[in-house]
């Protein structure tokens, strides 16, 4: 079958086309980008920060950075990976130095396994919470490098290769962080059931 004229047109990467429109001052380009990525950014920030207010602040900060630096983006990684990186950097910057975050980050797997009762009274344990709430609370208790990897893999559905790009780390490190994060969660969730 003969190729139609449409088939012969060079394919334009939609990400690059969007960035090009943004460079040329098209305000709809940023609106489209916000539409596409706002849910993704907000949920990442929510799962890493653990509360809606921080997640909204971090989303706002992320999109301001995206707006500011988008024109310089040359498309060597996918736009999605880049937006994830910007969001993750915002989250890390926000929580670096916060005592709770440092405490969580400095906990080794062994320390987590040693936690006797996760500071809950029997009455608190008796409170029935939704399955999701329990898992979200457990996520906040694991070290942040593990939490980032688990969130990107099990909540955002990224492949190991994509996670390695977002975290700028080796595939082996990604594999290890996902595994250790899941194992930390296993210990915490089993403990919370007792």
Partner 1 sequence: MTHLNVETLSSYLDGELVDAKVRKLETHLDQCPRCQARLRGLRRVVERLSVIVPIGPPTYLEPEVRRFVAVQQSRESTWSRLELQMARFSAQSPLIPLFAVVIALVLIIYLLASGLSRQVGSGTEIVIAPTEIENSEMREIGSRVFEKQADRWVEQGWIGKFPVRKVDTKGAELAGWITIEPALAELEELGAVVWIVLDDEPVEIDYSEP
Tell whether residue 43 is a contact of partner 1 (CB under 8 A).
Answer: yes
Give CA angle at 46 (40, 48), nearest 5°.
105
Q: Which of 94, 105, 12 is nearest to 46 (CA)?
A: 94
Among 32, 136, 140, 192, binds partner 1 (CB under 8 A): 136
Total residues binding partner 1 (CB under 8 A): 63
DSSP string, the chain: -PPPHHHHSPPPPHHHHHHHHHHTT-HHHHHHHHHHHHHHHHHHHHHHH-SHHHHHHHHHHHHHHHHHHGGG---SS-HHHHHHHHHHHHHHHHHTT-HHHHHHHH--HHHHHH-SSTT--HHHHHS---HHHHHHHHHTTS-HHHHHHHIIIIIS---HHHHHHHHT--HHHHHHHHHHHHHHHHHHHHHHH-
Interface region with partner 1, contact rule CB under 8 A, candidates 2-10, 12-20, 121-129, 147-155: 147-155
Tell whether residue 132 is a contact of partner 1 (CB under 8 A).
Answer: yes
Tell whether residue 179 is a contact of partner 1 (CB under 8 A).
Answer: yes
Per-residue contact string for residues 59-78; x = within reach of partner 1 by CB under 8 A = xxx-xxx-xxx--xxx-xx-
Tell whether residue 16 is a contact of partner 1 (CB under 8 A).
Answer: no
Tell whether residue 193 is a contact of partner 1 (CB under 8 A).
Answer: no
Tell whether residue 86 is a contact of partner 1 (CB under 8 A).
Answer: yes
Tell whether residue 137 is a contact of partner 1 (CB under 8 A).
Answer: no
- The two tokens of residue 78 are 């996918």
Tell whether residue 92 is a contact of partner 1 (CB under 8 A).
Answer: yes
Binding site for partner 1 (CB under 8 A): 30, 34, 38-39, 41-43, 46-47, 52, 55-56, 59-61, 63-65, 67-69, 72-74, 76-77, 81-82, 85-86, 89-90, 92-93, 96, 131-132, 134-136, 145, 150, 153-155, 160, 165, 167-170, 173, 175-176, 178-180, 182-183, 185-186, 189-190
């Amino acid at each position: 079958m003969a190729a139609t004229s449409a088939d012969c047109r060079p394919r334009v990467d939609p990400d690059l086309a969007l960035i090009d429109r943004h460079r040329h001052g098209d305000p709809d380009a940023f609106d489209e980008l916000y539409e596409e990525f706002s849910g993704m950014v907000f949920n990442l920030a929510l799962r890493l920060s653990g509360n809606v207010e921080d997640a909204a602040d971090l989303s706002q900060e992320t999109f301001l950075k995206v707006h500011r630096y988008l024109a310089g983006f040359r498309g060597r990684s996918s736009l999605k990976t880049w937006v994830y990186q910007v969001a993750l950097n915002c989250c890390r910057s926000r929580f670096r130095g916060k005592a709770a975050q440092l405490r969580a980050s400095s906990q080794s797997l062994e320390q987590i396994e040693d936690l006797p009762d996760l500071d809950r009274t029997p009455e608190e344990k008796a409170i029935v919470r939704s399955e999701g709430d329990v898992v979200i609370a457990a996520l906040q208790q694991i070290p942040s490098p593990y939490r980032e990897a688990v969130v990107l893999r099990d909540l955002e559905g990224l492949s190991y290769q994509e996670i390695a790009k977002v975290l700028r780390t080796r595939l082996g490190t990604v594999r290890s962080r996902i595994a250790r994060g899941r194992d930390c969660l296993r210990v915490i969730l089993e403990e919370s059931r007792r």
